[in-house]
Amino acid sequence: MHAEMRHDPLQRRWVIIAPERGIRPTDFTTRDDEVEEFDPFAEGNEQHTTPEITAVRKPGTKPNTPGWTVRVIPNMYPAFRIEGELNRRGDGLYDSMNGVGAHEIVIETPERFQDIPQLPDEQLRTIGLVYRDRIIDLYRDRRIKYAILFRNHGRAAGASLSHPHTQIAAMTVTPLQIAMELNAARAHYHAKERCLLCDMLVQEKQQRVRLVQETEKFVAFCPYASRFNFETWILPRNHMYDFRKLPDEDVREFMLILRDVLDRMQGALKDPPYNFILVTAPNTETHDPRPAQWSTLELDWHWRVMILPRLGSLAGFEFGTGFHINSTPPEQAAELLRSVEV
């Protein structure tokens, strides 16, 4: 059985039923401190992964052989597959469709124990360019409505392999949470003719208490209503709605502030498990005609990265209400992160 998307009429959300990812109860018994013995993402083990989609390689090396610095492959246990029809169907009260889309892995270094904080500037720039160019390529498929790039670091953050990698999931629906954010940004714009996240940056730069780092083109801060302890967002300082628009010359600076924030978290929190998530714009070219609610998207939306350290456990309260409880005021988190010597 391939992955299937199912819709809940009460909670009005889709869920992905992906049984290939493990069905038996024993599949769930991984321990936090377990390190897998075999590293399929290491240089030399290319034959043990799915065939590569693209790679940054030394001239003259062949696909699926050593000689690469960044390598992109399809996820072996995908939540979404590129082949097939959506096949939207009803089942009484319920709705389902096939898990059509793409689910890719960006292997960020041939070295297993070299993570973002250890990587040289040029390698980081290469990774950033791959992030951007994969999203550009995936959005060429007009079935794709939204692509999210996310990184799980540490088992408590959902990582199943320790070799540094990031994932990209491209979907045929705009996720409910993204749709709600798009609505909020649009409503703010229509009321004020200003971008909500630009307004947030103005306030953060005035108050300064939640700032973590600033560079010429980017700002990192702990959001006022942080869901997670030490949650940090990185935004382009000037309005930019779509990560695909990030110019080549700014990619390095973006990756360097990302590394700077991760360095600070490592210093303050001792290699915490974390997720980072790139929230970009939906694929406006997928719709013809373009939906009316996206008429001001270029003006009202602003891409960002959210870094979410996973220090506590989510509990029944969060899953019942959607409310998060955060024990670190973001002002204290930012102060501690600023104080780390990088």
Evaluate whether 53 touches 73 at the Cβ level (below 8 Å). Answer: yes
Least separation in angstroms between residue 168's CB and its own copies is 10
Which tokens sit at 197? 């996240």
Beta carbon nearer to its own copies, 143 or 227: 227
Determine the interface stretch with its own copies among 43-51, 129-137, 192-200, 253-261 (rule: CB under 8 A).
Answer: 192-200
Beta carbon nearer to its own copies, 64 or 161: 161
Evaluate whether 39 touches 112 at the Cβ level (below 8 Å). Answer: yes
3-state secondary structure of 197: helix
CA pair distance 275, 157, nearest whole angstrom: 6
Per CB under 8 A, the list member of 284, 332, 335, 340 interacting with its own copies is: 332
Instruction: Using CB atoms within 10 Å of the CB of residue 226, give its burial: 0 to 12 exposed, 13 to 18 middle, 19+ buried.
Output: buried
3-state secondary structure of 21: helix
Evaluate whether 101 touches 171 at the Cβ level (below 8 Å). Answer: yes
Least separation in angstroms between residue 64's CB and its own copies is 26
Least separation in angstroms between residue 199's CB and its own copies is 6
Asked if residue 323 binds its own copies (CB under 8 A), the reply is yes
For the beta carbon of residue 279, count every other beta carbon within 10 angstroms: 19
Residue 140 phi/psi, 5-degree rounding, is: -70, -20
Whole-angstrom CA distances from 58 to 46, 71, 112 are: 15, 12, 19
Residue 106 phi/psi, 5-degree rounding, is: -100, 110
DSSP letter at 100? B
Asked if residue 218 binds its own copies (CB under 8 A), the reply is no
Site size with its own copies, rule: CB under 8 A = 95
The residues, any chain, with a CB within 8 Å of residue 135's CB and separated by 6 or more, are 147, 149, 168, 243, 244, 280
Asked if residue 225 binds its own copies (CB under 8 A), the reply is yes
Beta carbon nearer to its own copies, 113 or 317: 317
3-state secondary structure of 337: helix
Beta carbon nearer to its own copies, 43 or 148: 148
Beta carbon nearer to its own copies, 109 or 226: 226
Per CB under 8 A, the list member of 61, 84, 89, 94 interacting with its own copies is: 94
Beta carbon nearer to its own copies, 287 or 325: 325
For the segment 1-40, give every residue that binds its own copies (CB under 8 A): 1, 6-23, 25, 27-28, 31-32
Strand partners, 56: 70
Per CB under 8 A, the list member of 37, 59, 62, 315 interacting with its own copies is: 315
Least separation in angstroms between residue 205's CB and its own copies is 11
For the segment 95-154, give every residue that binds its own copies (CB under 8 A): 146, 148, 150-152
Least separation in angstroms between residue 163's CB and its own copies is 16
For the segment 236-275, give every residue that binds its own copies (CB under 8 A): 268-270, 272, 275
Per CB under 8 A, the list member of 226, 235, 281, 282 interacting with its own copies is: 226
Evaluate whether 160 touches 189 at the Cβ level (below 8 Å). Answer: no
Evaluate whether 68 touches 56 at the Cβ level (below 8 Å). Answer: yes
Per CB under 8 A, the list member of 175, 214, 244, 250 interacting with its own copies is: 175
Determine the interface stretch with its own copies among 51-59, 90-98, 132-140, 289-297 (rule: CB under 8 A).
Answer: 90-98
